[in-house]
């Protein structure tokens, strides 16, 4: 059986479009792990049998596999062996057995880590994040200064200027401008922008982003009726103008 759920609340750690496959026949355990992963912004797939897990691992662009050894038809050992023939996707194995031979066997056939049930879901997520940090390709270093027309954002100096004059921003306005400005042309939904600034579990309506955008525009736009930097995409969210649009 397959269950799919996107990360709804936050994107604190996960990179865009990262999906984790949870291959676990105990639905309660799978859903618990899913909940904690989605708090970090991951989308999740759940497979409750080995055949579905294999099909998904071969067909879907997953970034990580959490694999229960006792999964039925086939078991986790066999799934790990098959996946390792064609993929280097990180694999963390789950088991109810604590014998050393199981840990050794899992690592010897290509697993990256091994967790014994019952486990702390927070610790499991931290292990997933640690493995991803080790296995992700190095990211390009961010430009210390972003410049669009007369607007200059210097992240190293924590300073924003417009036509050479400093712009006084609140913390949220600063982060909001940074998020938009470093990805010109990309459209951000209100939910995506909310996830950048508010902790998981906080009750915040998406229109609060409109308020912050309005205040930010008052500080950087020459004409509020026709903004040249932060562009509204009706029915979805906002984007920062691309280079050729800013004069």
Longest dimension (CA), the chain: 69
Please report, to the nearest 10 degrees, the dihedral formed by the alpha carbons of residues 127, 129, 132, 138 taken in order: -140
Nearest CA among 161, 183, 172 for reference residue 214: 172
Average pLDDT taken over every residue of the chain: 83
Structural tokens at position 116: 């014994």
- So what's the pLDDT on residue 9? 41
- So what's the pLDDT on residue 247? 55
Count the residues in the chain.
Answer: 247
Structural tokens at position 212: 């912050």
197-241 pLDDT, tens digit each: 654 434 445 578 899 999 999 999 999 998 999 999 988 889 999
Q: Average pLDDT of 5-9?
A: 46
Order across the sheet with 237-240: list the strands.
Answer: 187-189, 237-240, 230-233
Domain boundaries, the chain: 2-135, 145-245
* CATH classification (class only), 2-135: alpha beta
Cα–Cα dist 36/10, whole Å: 11
For 130, residues 6+ apart whose C-beta sits below 8 A from its C-beta are none
Q: Which DSSP symbol is given to 148?
A: E
Q: Which DSSP symbol is given to 113?
A: E
For residue 109, CA distances in Å to 60, 88, 134 come to: 22, 12, 19
160-186 pLDDT, tens digit each: 999 999 999 988 899 899 989 988 888
Q: Average pLDDT of 50-77?
A: 92
CATH of span 145-245: 1.10.10.10
CA atoms 114, 85, 45, 203: torsion sign: positive
């Amino acid at each position: 059986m397959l269950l799919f759920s996107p990360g709804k609340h936050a994107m604190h750690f996960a990179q865009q479009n990262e999906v984790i496959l949870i291959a676990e026949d105990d639905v309660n355990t799978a859903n618990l792990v899913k909940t904690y992963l989605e708090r970090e912004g991951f989308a999740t797939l759940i497979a409750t049998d080995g055949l579905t897990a294999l099909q998904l691992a071969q067909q879907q662009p997953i970034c990580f596999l959490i694999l229960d050894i006792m999964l039925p038809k086939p078991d986790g050992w066999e799934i790990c062996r098959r996946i390792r023939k064609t993929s280097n996707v990180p694999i963390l194995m789950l088991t109810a057995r604590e014998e050393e031979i199981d840990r050794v066997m899992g690592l010897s056939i290509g697993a990256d880590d091994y967790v014994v049930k019952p486990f702390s879901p927070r610790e499991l997520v931290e292990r997933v994040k640690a493995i991803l940090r080790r296995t992700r390709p190095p990211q390009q270093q961010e430009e210390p200064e972003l410049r669009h027309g007369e607007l200059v954002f210097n992240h190293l100096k924590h300073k924003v200027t417009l036509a050479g004059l400093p712009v006084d921003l609140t913390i949220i306005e600063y982060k909001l401008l940074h998020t938009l400005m470093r990805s010109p042309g990309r459209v951000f939904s209100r939910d995506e922008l909310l996830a950048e600034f508010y902790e998981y579990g906080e009750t915040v309506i998406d229109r609060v982003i409109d308020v912050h955008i309005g205040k930010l525009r008052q500080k950087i736009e020459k004409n509020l009726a026709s903004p040249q930097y932060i562009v509204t995409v009706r029915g979805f969210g906002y984007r920062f103008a691309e280079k050729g649009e800013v004069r």
